[in-house]
Structure formats: C-alpha cells, structure tokens
C-alpha cells in the first residue's frame, strides 16, 4: 500500500476505534478512496458521518494531503453486509 494510503488508514483507525478501513489508490490520479466501516455510525445520518470523518481528516492531515482524498464512504457493519448481499 502506498505510504500516503497507510497514513490515511492509520489516521482513520485512530479516530474511529475498532473501525475497518478499506482504501485504494485510484490511477492515474493517485487519489485515495474507499470505505470506513464503524459500529459507531449506527443511528447517525450520512451527512453527520461525513462531518465526523472530515473533522478527523482535517485535524491530522495537511490541506495538500486532504486534496489527495477523493471519497470515503461511511457505513456500519450491518450496512456493509446488506451491500455485499445485493
């Protein structure tokens, strides 16, 4: 995994304890995207999940690094299961 992707994953795991983080590097842009699966999102609407996500990212990454992130979806483990079954 690219060094920056590892850094993002470490930041997310620190900010969302016991989360599962699946990231990939998009080519040719080399931007990071993926999935953040966390039980703590249960009962929280998507916009508030994204607000929490970006609060963590803004606190730990430089503005230049933040621009290297394309999209990180925020789901609960149960929501991930439903998506995988479809």
pLDDT in tens, 51-84: 999 999 999 999 999 999 999 999 999 999 887 7
Could you give the CA distance from residue 31 to residue 28 in angstroms, rounded to a whole number?
8
**pLDDT (0 to 100) of residue 86:** 59
**pLDDT (0 to 100) of residue 31:** 93
Question: Among 34, 33, 44, 39, which Cα is nearest to 19's?
Answer: 39
Calculate the alpha carbon distances from 71 to 46, 62, 85 in Å: 13, 17, 22
**pLDDT (0 to 100) of residue 2:** 83
**pLDDT (0 to 100) of residue 1:** 52
Q: Which residues contact 42 (CB under 8 A, 6 or more apart)?
A: 76, 78
Domains and CATH numbers, the chain: 3-85 (3.30.300.90)
pLDDT tens track for 5-49: 999 999 999 999 999 999 999 888 889 999 999 999 999 999 999
Could you give the CA distance from residue 65 to residue 55 in angstroms, rounded to a whole number?
14
């Amino acid at each position: 995994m690219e060094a920056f992707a590892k850094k993002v994953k470490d930041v997310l795991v620190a900010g969302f304890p016991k989360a599962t983080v699946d990231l990939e590097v998009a080519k040719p842009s080399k931007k990071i995207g993926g999935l953040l699966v966390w039980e703590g999102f249960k009962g929280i609407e998507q916009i508030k999940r994204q607000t929490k996500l970006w609060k963590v990212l803004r606190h730990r990454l430089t503005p230049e690094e933040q621009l290297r992130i394309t999209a990180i979806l925020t789901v609960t483990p149960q929501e991930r299961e439903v998506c995988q079954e479809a």
